[in-house]
Amino acid sequence: MAERIPEALQEKLAERLTFYQDIGIQLFYRDRYPQQGASVAEEITLPKTVQKTQPVKPVVETRPARPKLDVLPATSGASLFEAVNKVPGDTLLKIQTDLGDCTRCKLHRGRTKLVFGDGNPKAELVFVGEGPGRDEDAQGLPFVGRAGKLLTQMIEAMGLQRPDVYICNVVKCRPPENRTPEKDEVSTCSPFLLRQLDAIAPKVIVCLGSVAAQTLLETNRGISHFRGEWLDFRGRKLMATYHPAYLLRNPSAKGEVWKDLQKVMAVLGLQGKKGAQAGKLS
């Protein structure tokens, strides 16, 4: 009979798995029968990109190529954004009008207010979060709770004010109990997010957390795999970093986020708030 893992070790393993879940790494598996000579790193992996085994006819790309990331296998034969093309003359007002009093997915049943977005319609910098929380649902504005206050401090540390940027979410209605948006909810709401980004045409997009990054990059990889790296999204520079809500639970990660924001500042030519230092976001 296999020996039972000591309770102290069990607690450490549970804490480590919870940490990985917080930063977006959720899927693990271990091959019970690894090939001879395989290392531990090879045995515990994230899902790999589905490889094409049959030759396919070349197709004309309708959007710029993205970095090679492990992507979720398509279930409908089309990319989430494949059918959403740029609309000439599209504006945030028109997009909001088209969205209307949305009842397209089940999230509308429990919402108080739909949260479309807020900020400068011609912003060079757009922050994309996961979805509204309790305070956002009550006020109809994105990032106004505790995490929102921290985001405001982050923006100000960069030498900007909230009205200088645009802030929105992947889904426009609050998920019950602030759970992670489900795949059908994301696929229903995300085309409106894509239109928002096209209408604003920012120089830089910052994804706050795994859901935003995984949605725009169409990947199932955890954010730790590409956080802090410049990626491409439809010809625009994209940076993924930790969500402010994660920073409230893990203050030690603020320094890493500040490094990411400094890269954004360099691209936008920002000097930052005088006296702002890494890890000093409060």
Q: Give DSSP secondary structure letters for 184-248.
A: HHHHHHHHHHHHHHHHH--SEEEEESHHHHHHHHTB-S-GGGTTTSEEEETTEEEEEE--HHHHH
For residue range 201-218, list pLDDT tens digits in order: 999 999 999 999 999 999
pLDDT band at 2 (very low <50, low <70, confident <90, very high): low
In a domain, 227, yes or no: yes
Which amino acid, one-letter code, is at 166?
A: Y
Number of neighbours of residue 168 by Cβ within 10 angstroms: 23
Asked if residue 55 has pLDDT above 80, the reply is no
In a domain, 26, yes or no: no
In a domain, 207, yes or no: yes
In a domain, 203, yes or no: yes
Residue 140 is part of which domain span? 92-268
Q: Which two tokens stand for residue 69?
A: 């990331």
In a domain, 116, yes or no: yes
Nearest to 241 by CA among 118, 124, 127: 127
For residue range 211-264, list pLDDT tens digits in order: 999 999 999 999 999 999 999 999 999 999 999 999 999 999 999 999 999 999
Provide the number of structural domains found in the chain.
Answer: 1
Contact between residue 131 and residue 145 where contact means Cβ atoms under 8 Å apart: no
Average pLDDT over residues 123-150: 98
In a domain, 85, yes or no: no
The CATH number of residue 171's host domain is 3.40.470.10
In a domain, 259, yes or no: yes
